[in-house]
Amino acid sequence: MARQKAPINKRPFAGKTPAIREQYERFQSQTSARADVEAYRLQTPGHEYPNLPKWVQAQTPFTSFQDRHGPEDILGESAHALLIGNHASFDVAQYKRAPERAGMSMVHVLAIPKASLFNAVSLTRDTVSIIDEMIALFRRAWADRGVRDKVLAHQLGQIKAQHAAEANPNGYGVALKHYRELERTIHGLGVDDFTFGFHLWPDHSVGHLHMHVVATPCRKYSTDAHDAKTKDALEVRDFILSLPEPEAKPEAKRDPELENIASVLEAELLLEAESGSEPEIGIKPESGTEPHFEPGPKFELEHELENRPESR
Ligand SMILES: [Zn+2]
């Protein structure tokens, strides 16, 4: 009898809906949560954010990333999202003092929204489609050999950067050896070898939504210190979609000409037809307001990225 290969657990971070709910509700119950998230999203000048650890801030290393970085830092792009490299070596051998600062896999990249979205706990039914867009962006990018080569180059760059930051010749040699292994195997990784996760407030390190994209078969040299706090991206999406619809806004006054029942009906039919033709992936603009993913004004953050001490 042929032996069945054990299926790879493709969603190792799934099964945490109660914790997702708890963190979501705890965040939403904070006094200024909504106002601060909205100020970050709109990049409201002069908004005063409470000075609390892990709280919403005006700027982060990922805020308006596309305005401050060139193509060398961007692995892929869609209408509202970017794919970027993770800021760590994948090999714990290079982090003798703090192994948890290593990456979560030999291939560990991040997807971020271009718009200023704070964290998965501040997503709403209107903005949650960014998760599907980020996953679709990764899947499309990974099919491109050029992107995989760019990821390889980024991984090597992070190994060298970590060696420069914390000289550890032994660990450096080990990481380079493992990197050669990655070179041999990376093009054999398919999109289904990846899983997607979030660090929900207050477990996050950067106060701008970022989705961790982690190759599940190549984690043996990396850290599992963050696994417990990592939440499966699809589970987070489904949780946000399970939230009750926000209360309907009071109806705007109708134009007297539309009071004719036939024309109202016609307008409603037209609306229905329009919403039926919506693209599957993408952001649904709220009628009558500005689009949700309009990038905010530019911010200058030249040195913040370079000087970040901790792993993301
Ligand atoms: Zn993170």
Say which residue, 249 or 127, is predicted with more confidence: 127
In this predicted model, what pLDDT tens digit does every residue of 153-212 receive, in sequence order? Answer: 999 999 999 999 988 889 999 999 999 999 999 999 999 999 999 999 999 999 999 999
- Cα(250) to ligand 1 centroid in Å equals 39
Task: State the pLDDT confidence band at 302, using cuts at 50, 70 and 90.
Answer: very low
- Cα(84) to ligand 1 centroid in Å equals 13
In a domain, 303, yes or no: no
In a domain, 198, yes or no: yes
d(CA 153, CA 150): 5
The pLDDT score that the predictor gives to residue 179 is 94
Task: State the pLDDT confidence band at 265, using cuts at 50, 70 and 90.
Answer: low
The pLDDT score that the predictor gives to residue 219 is 86
Instruction: Give me the CATH number covering residue 60.
Output: 3.30.428.10
Q: Is the pLDDT of residue 304 over 60?
A: no
- Cα(258) to ligand 1 centroid in Å equals 50
Task: State the pLDDT confidence band at 267, using cuts at 50, 70 and 90.
Answer: low
3-state helix, strand, coil in the chain (%, to 5): 40, 10, 50
| Residues 131, 14, 218, 198, CA torsion sign | positive
In this predicted model, what pLDDT tens digit does every residue of 40-86 receive, in sequence order? Answer: 999 999 999 999 999 999 999 999 999 999 998 999 999 999 999 99
Question: Are 196 and 110 in contact, with CB atoms under 8 Å apart?
Answer: no
Residue 69's domain comprises: 17-246+254-276
- Cα(31) to ligand 1 centroid in Å equals 24
In a domain, 134, yes or no: yes
In a domain, 301, yes or no: no
The pLDDT score that the predictor gives to residue 90 is 87
Q: Is the pLDDT of residue 112 over 70?
A: yes
d(CA 191, CA 193): 5
- Cα(305) to ligand 1 centroid in Å equals 14
The pLDDT score that the predictor gives to residue 285 is 39
Complete edge-to-edge strand list for the sheet that includes strand 230-232: 76-77, 81-85, 108-113, 211-215, 194-199, 230-232
In a domain, 306, yes or no: no
- Cα(280) to ligand 1 centroid in Å equals 27
Q: What is the mean pLDDT of residues 80-100?
A: 90
Q: Taking each helix axis as running N to C, give the angle between helix 129-142 and helix 233-242, from 0 to 180 degrees, rounded to the nearest 10.
A: 150
In a domain, 177, yes or no: yes
Note the pTM of the prediction, 2 decimals.
0.77
Least confident of 18-27, 111-120, 177-186, 303-312: 303-312
- Cα(230) to ligand 1 centroid in Å equals 8
The pLDDT score that the predictor gives to residue 23 is 98
How many domains does the structure of the chain reveal? 1
- Cα(238) to ligand 1 centroid in Å equals 19
Task: State the pLDDT confidence band at 137, using cuts at 50, 70 and 90.
Answer: very high
